[in-house]
Chain A
Amino acid sequence: MFAWLVMMRSNIVSVLLGGFALALWPLATGSFGVDLVAKTMIYAIVALSLELLVGATGLVCFGQAAFFGLAGYAAVKLSPEGAAASLWWLLPVAMAVGAAYALFMGALSLRTRGVYFIMVTLAFAQMAYYVVHDTPLGGGTDGIYLYVKPVAAIGSTLLIDLDRPLALYYFVFGCLVAVFGFLALLGRSRFGRALAGIRVNEQRMRATGFSTYPYKLAAFVVSGAIAGLAGFLFAVKDGFVNPELLSWHLSGAVLIMIILGGIGHLRGAVIGAFAFALLQEFFKSETIFGGFAKHWLLGLGLAIIVSVALLPRGLIGAGSLLTHRLTRTPRVEA
C-alpha cells in the first residue's frame, strides 16, 4: 500500500516537473530550441491520441496520420486568403474534420481484428493520402501554403496571435496540458473503464452487457479529434501542408513513439515523443558525430534495438527496472 502511494506520488511529481520544464524552456533557449520543442509537443499530442486507441483500448491503429493531415489541410484550405482566420471556429472545424474521418474509418475497420485491423486502418489512411496527393484539391506533391496564421480575438482585442513563435509555443503547450488532463480524466471515468475492459477481454465485456462497438467507435472519434488538433497546430506552426503529413511513415513514427515510451501510460506517449525527437537531434548533431552525422538513422535504429532488448516495457519501465535492480525489492507494476 505504501509503495503504491509513493509510486502514485512520484508519477504526479514527474508529470508536474515535466510540465514546469516545458513552461520554462523558452527562457533557456533560442528560436531553434523553441521551434523544436513546439514541434515535439505537437507529436506528443498525436502520440497521446494514438495511446487512447492502442494503450487504453487495445486497438492498434496504423492510420493516425490521416486524421492529423486532413485536419491540417482543412485548417489551410478554410483560412481566408490574405486575412487571418479566427481561431474560435477554425480550430473546432479542423478537429471535427479529424473526428469525422475517424468516424468513417472506425465504423468500417472495427469489423476486423488484430493485424487485419492494423492493415485496414492503413488502407483508409492511404486512401486519404492519395486523394490529397492526386487531386487538385490538395495541391499535389508540393502542398499548399497558409499565408496568414489564425488569431483569437474578443471584440477588437487580440488575445492570441499564432504568428508569434512564443505565442504559438505556449498555445501548443496549453493544448498538450489540456489533452493530457482530458485523457487522464477520461481514463478514470466510466467510459475509460469500459475501454480498459474491452482491451483486457472484449468477450467478457459483451457478456456483462456492454455493447462494445459504440465504445470503440467513440474512442476512435475522440482520438481523431485530438490528432486533428495536432494536425491543426502543425499546419499553423509551419504555415504549410503537404501530402507527407498523411503518409504511413508518420503513422508508423507515432506508433514507434508510443511503443518506445511504453504502452499503457499517458506519460509513456509523451516520453516516447520526446525521446524520439531527442535521439534524432542527438544523432544528427555534427559537433558529436562530425561527418558521420548524416548517417543519423543508423544511430537511431541501434538505439531503438537496444531499448527493445533492455526495456521490455518501454522507457517508462526503466525507472522501476532500475530501482528493482538497485534495491532488489519486488518490482511494482506501474
Chain B
Amino acid sequence: MSFETFLVQCLNSLQYGLLLFLVASGLTLIFGIMGVINLAHGSFYMIGAYMAYALAPLVGGGFFTTLALGLVLAVVLGYALEWAFFSFLYEREHLQQVLMTYGLILVFEELRSILVGDDVHGVQAPPWLAGSIPLGDLMTYPVYRLFISGVCLALAGSMWFVLARTRLGMTIRAGATNREMVQSLGIDIQFLYRVVFAAGVAIAVLAGMVAAPVSSVYPGMGNQVLIICFVVVVIGGIGSIRGALLAALLIGFVDTFGKVVFPQAAGVLVYVLMALILLWKPDGLFKAG
C-alpha cells in the first residue's frame, strides 16, 4: 500500500467513523439518559438521507436551506414522537420498548416506500464542495468528504460543550443519574426528555442528510446503520459520549482498512472486534456514571 493510498484510507476511516459517531451519539444519549432502547434510531438516519433527496427540489436546491428545513422538521418529528410513542415506554420493560420501536421501523420504512418509492437515488453535493484536492502526485481526495468530517467534528464539539459546560447539560446529566431527584428539585423532566430525544433525532437526521451525497439513498440503509451503531454504543460503554467517539473511530478504521487488507473477511471483522472488546471489558471501554 503506497503512502497516498494509506492517507486516503485514513481520511475515509475518519469520515466514516465520525459519521457513525453522530448517529451513535443520539442512540447512546437516549439510551443512557432515558433508558430507552430505540431500534428506530437507524430510521432517523434513513429519513435524513431521504430528506436530502426529496426536500432539495422543494426549496430550490440550496444546500443549507435544505439542511435547515430538514433540521426543523427533525426536531418537530422527534418532539412529536417522544410525546406520542415514547413517553409511556419509560416504565415498561426493555423488551416492550424493543417491540414498539421495531413496529416503528416497519412503519417508517413503508411510509418511505409510499412517499418516495423504492428506487436508489443519488444526491448531488453542492457545487462549491464538489471538487477534489490533490494528495501526492496521483491521488485526489473529494472536498465533500472533508466537509463531512468537519461538520461531524463541529457537532461533536458543541455536543460536548452543551453537556459538560451548560446548565441544560448539567440537568440532563443529573436526570440520567436520578430522575426522581431532579423532578423533586422542580425541573420539568418530561420536557427535558423531550428535548434530549428531539436533539438525538435531529443529529441522526443531520447525519443522514450530510451523508446522502456520499452514500447515496437506498431502502434499508437505516437498518444497516442501526446495527453498526449499536456495536459502537456497546463498545464505547452505554451512555458514554466519549466512549462512543472512540468506538466509532475504531470501527471506522477497522472496517475501512479491513475492506482493503482482508476483503474476504471485511464484514466479520467489526463483530470479532466487538466480541473481543466485550470479553475483555464486559461493560464497554468507558462505563458511564
A-to-B contact residues, CB < 8 Å: 54, 60, 108-109, 111-113, 115-116, 119-120, 122-124, 126-127, 130-131, 133-134, 248, 252, 255-256, 259-260, 263, 295, 297-298, 300-305, 307-309, 312
Do B110 and A297 touch across chains, with their CB atoms under 8 A apart? yes
Bound: A298/B106 CA distance, A: 6
**Residue ID in chain B nearest A133 by CB atoms:** B267
Do B275 and A113 touch across chains, with their CB atoms under 8 A apart? no
| Interface 9-mer from B90-98, B151-159, B183-191 | B90-98
Q: How far is the CB of A226 from chain B (nearest CB, A)?
A: 20
Indicate whether A111 sits within 8 Å of B279 (C-beta atoms), given known contacts A120-B274, A122-B227, A297-B109: yes
Bound: A308/B85 CA distance, A: 10
- Residue of A115, A263, A297 near B106 (CB, 8 A) is A297
Do B96 and A308 touch across chains, with their CB atoms under 8 A apart? yes
Residues facing A in B233-289 (CB within 8 A) are: 234, 238, 264-265, 267-268, 271-272, 274-275, 278-279, 282-284
Report B-chain residues with C-beta under 8 Å of the C-beta of A130.
265, 267-268, 271
**Residue ID in chain A nearest B91 by CB atoms:** A312
Do A127 and B275 touch across chains, with their CB atoms under 8 A apart? yes
Report B-chain residues with C-beta under 8 Å of the C-beta of A123.
231, 271-272, 274-275, 278
B-to-A contact residues, CB < 8 Å: 31, 37, 85, 88, 92, 94-96, 98-100, 102-107, 109-111, 113-114, 227, 230-231, 234, 238, 264-265, 267-268, 271-272, 274-275, 278-279, 282-284
- Residue of B99, B100, B103, B275 near A108 (CB, 8 A) is B275
Report B-chain residues with C-beta under 8 Å of the C-beta of A119.
230-231, 234, 274, 278
Bound: A295/B106 CA distance, A: 10
Q: How far is the CB of B42 from chain A (nearest CB, A)?
A: 12
> Which 6 residue pairs spanning A and B have beta carbons closest together?
A301-B106, A304-B103, A298-B110, A130-B268, A301-B107, A305-B103
Do A131 and B268 touch across chains, with their CB atoms under 8 A apart? yes
Q: How far is the CB of A246 from chain B (nearest CB, A)?
A: 12
Bound: A304/B92 CA distance, A: 15
Bound: A252/B95 CA distance, A: 11
Total cross-chain contacts (CB, 8 A): 118
Do B272 and A127 touch across chains, with their CB atoms under 8 A apart? yes
Q: How far is the CB of B108 from chain A (nearest CB, A)?
A: 8
Bound: A286/B107 CA distance, A: 19
Bound: A307/B102 CA distance, A: 12
- Residue of A255, A303, A312 near B98 (CB, 8 A) is A255
Do B37 and A115 touch across chains, with their CB atoms under 8 A apart? yes
- What are 6 sample pairs from A and B whose C-beta atoms fall under 8 A apart? A115-B94, A116-B234, A116-B283, A124-B271, A130-B268, A301-B107
Which secondary structure dominates chain B's binding surface? Answer: helix
- Residue of A115, A255, A301 near B104 (CB, 8 A) is A301
- Find the residue from A113, A123, A126 having the highest chain B CB count within 10 A: A123
Bound: A222/B113 CA distance, A: 41
Do B264 and A120 touch across chains, with their CB atoms under 8 A apart? no
Indicate whether A116 sits within 8 Å of B284 (C-beta atoms), given known contacts A108-B275, A133-B267, A297-B109: yes
**Residue ID in chain A nearest B267 by CB atoms:** A130
Do B234 and A304 touch across chains, with their CB atoms under 8 A apart? no
Do A108 and B274 touch across chains, with their CB atoms under 8 A apart? no
Bound: A193/B107 CA distance, A: 40
- Residue of B88, B104, B265 near A134 (CB, 8 A) is B265
Report A-chain residues with C-beta under 8 Å of the C-beta of B92.
308, 312
- Find the residue from A248, A252, A305, A309 having the highest chain B CB count within 10 A: A305
Bound: A163/B110 CA distance, A: 37
Q: How far is the CB of B86 from chain A (nearest CB, A)?
A: 11
Bound: A116/B31 CA distance, A: 13
Report B-chain residues with C-beta under 8 Å of the C-beta of A133.
267
Do B110 and A301 touch across chains, with their CB atoms under 8 A apart? yes
Bound: A116/B271 CA distance, A: 13
Do B99 and A308 touch across chains, with their CB atoms under 8 A apart? yes
Bound: A244/B103 CA distance, A: 21
Bound: A111/B277 CA distance, A: 12
Report A-chain residues with C-beta under 8 Å of the C-beta of B238.
115-116
Q: How far is the CB of B99 from chain A (nearest CB, A)?
A: 4
Q: How far is the CB of B243 from chain A (nearest CB, A)?
A: 12
Question: 11 new A-B pairs (CB below 8 Å) besides A124-B271, A295-B113, A308-B100?
Answer: A120-B279, A122-B230, A123-B274, A123-B278, A134-B268, A259-B95, A297-B109, A298-B106, A301-B105, A302-B103, A303-B103
